[in-house]
Amino acid sequence: MEYNTEFWNKYTEKSESQYNEEFAKFIRDLVVSLRCNSVLEVGCNAGNALRLFPENFEVHGIDLNENSLERARKNLPSFKFQNGSVTKIPFEDSSIDFVFTHMVLNYIRTEDMPKAISEMFRVSKKYLLTCELFDENESPIEDEIQCWNRNVCQRWLDYKVRIISDVDMHEEIDPKKTRFTLVKKLQT
């Protein structure tokens, strides 16, 4: 998996100034309503989507960008942030109740997607959520670096999960109208 530090440092600067409180509320409320006790954001950046969780909640974030992780640790010192990749998540099997991404899989190379989905499934105990820019055929997106619209729901069909939701997010929660795909991991 290629990694462009300069691009992601700029991305962190931009995303910190564009904090989306509605999305953070949505994630917190969803996790709580599903009676989860632990959450992991894969590709957490500076931790914006995790800001509204109570300090006593078990909150984790992983990212490849050390600049982002430093900011997340500074802004949210009671949560646990560490370096990690979606293709090699540094957690035990079935160790986190709720695992999610927000516009992370859009930047994962197509050949790395099977490993990314497999890793998320592996560490999840109960639920998985992906919020990604969507296209049924996974078309390329024009950006500074290579990225793609994703059809994550289609990819979950190869796993023991129940699809709970696969809809576009309302623009008041996520102005980019990412595809909200929530699945429940079935016990084997």
- Distance, in Å, from the CA atom of 38 to the CA atom of 95, rounded to the nearest integer, reads 9
Average per-residue pLDDT in the chain? 93
Please report the pLDDT score of residue 188 as a whole number: 57
Please report the pLDDT score of residue 61 as a whole number: 98
If you average pLDDT over residues 135-150, what whole number do you get? 88
Please report the pLDDT score of residue 142 as a whole number: 82
- Distance, in Å, from the CA atom of 110 to the CA atom of 118, rounded to the nearest integer, reads 14
If you average pLDDT over residues 161-169, what whole number do you get? 97
What would the pLDDT profile of 86-110 be if each residue is shown by its tens digit? 999 999 999 999 999 999 999 999 9
- Distance, in Å, from the CA atom of 156 to the CA atom of 169, rounded to the nearest integer, reads 19
Task: Give every CB contact of residue 171 below 8 A, 6+ residues apart in sequence.
Answer: 177
What would the pLDDT profile of 103-130 be if each residue is shown by its tens digit? 999 999 999 999 999 999 999 999 999 9
What residues pair up with 167 in beta bridges, in sequence order? 180
3-class secondary structure, 3: coil
**pLDDT above 80 for 144:** no
Please report the pLDDT score of residue 7 as a whole number: 72
Token pair listed for 60: 């984790």
- Which helix or strand (DSSP H or E) is residue 167 part of? strand 161-168
Please report the pLDDT score of residue 14 as a whole number: 73
Q: Is the CB of residue 37 less than 8 Å from the CB of residue 97? A: yes
Task: Give every CB contact of residue 56 below 8 A, 6+ residues apart in sequence.
Answer: none
- Could you give all domains of the chain from N- to C-terminal order, each with its CATH number? 5-185 (3.40.50.150)
User: Of residues 142 and 118, which shows the higher confidence score?
Assistant: 118
3-class secondary structure, 164: strand
What would the pLDDT profile of 55-75 be if each residue is shown by its tens digit? 999 999 999 999 999 999 999
Rounded to 10 degrees, the C-alpha dihedral 20/25/31/34 comes to -140
